[in-house]
Structure formats: C-alpha cells, structure tokens
C-alpha cells in the first residue's frame, strides 16, 4: 500500500514539474520570480518609436516561449522586414527561453495572470526550467 502511494506521489510530482514553468522577470528597477503553467498565453504591447504605431506580440508558454504572432500596421511590419519575408510565418517558428525588449515609449507585458507596465526601459523574461 505504501509503495503504491509513493509511486502515485512520484507520478503526480513529475506531472506537476512538467506543467510548471517558473520564470524571472527583470526590469531596470526590479527582478521578480513568477510561476507560469504550460499552455498559458502571453502578450507584449508597445508603441514603435519610429512609426508611432502599436505593436502586439503574442505567444504561448510551452517548454519554451513559442507560437509567436505579431500584430502591427503595414508600415511597422515593413520597417522590421523590409517586405522581404512574411513576418508571422517567420515568428511562428521561433522557440526561445528568454524574451528581451527595450522601448522608450513603454511596454505592457501579460503572462498568464501576471501583468506589468513599464513607462520606458528594458524588460527581460527568462524561463528557468527548460530542459
């Protein structure tokens, strides 16, 4: 009976470890740790400093940050891609353990139920368990 309990507890612990994604969010003012779950969505919003237009980057928390998509006006998209490649087809293939972004105009970050607003400066979000 005790062995079955221990085996069940071990399986539950492994399942939890596979689903949990601890992360650290670093800004110029602070560093904070957050707990994310596999499958949660994330979004970063900012105003592009050259085109003065809003940009929204959406993604999902999986083993890494993945399933990216970007929403922006055609002028801002052209600024980033020079019209050479389809933006969302490219970013959808990205998989990364960390996201770094700087903006003079401010950044809004939403990761699952966590939200952060920066008036300006840089932001880094790094997943801690990715192996």
Per the domain annotation, does 14 fall within a domain? no
CB atoms near residue 14 (< 10 Å): 10
Decide if 6 is inside a domain.
Answer: no
The single residue listed with the structure tokens 């019209």 is: 83
pLDDT in tens, 42-90: 999 999 888 899 999 999 999 999 999 999 988 888 888 877 778 888 8
CA-wise closest residue to 21 among 62, 58, 60:
62
- Note whether residue 2 is domain-resident: no
Domains of the chain: total: 1
**Total residues belonging to the chain:** 131
pLDDT tens per residue, range 94-120: 999 999 999 988 999 999 999 999 998
Range of the structural domain that residue 76 is part of: 20-127
């Amino acid at each position: 009976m005790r062995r079955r309990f221990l085996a069940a507890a071990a399986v539950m612990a492994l399942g939890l470890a596979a689903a949990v994604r601890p992360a650290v969010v670093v800004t110029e003012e602070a560093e904070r740790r957050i707990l994310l779950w596999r499958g949660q969505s994330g979004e970063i919003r900012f105003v592009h400093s050259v085109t003065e237009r809003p940009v929204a980057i959406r993604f999902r928390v999986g083993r890494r940050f993945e399933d990216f998509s970007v929403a922006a006006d055609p002028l801002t998209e052209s600024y980033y891609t020079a019209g050479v490649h389809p933006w969302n087809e490219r970013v959808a293939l990205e998989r990364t353990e960390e996201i770094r972004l700087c903006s003079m105009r401010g950044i809004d970050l939403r990761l699952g139920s966590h939200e952060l607003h920066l008036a300006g400066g840089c932001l880094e979000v790094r997943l801690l368990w990715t192996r």
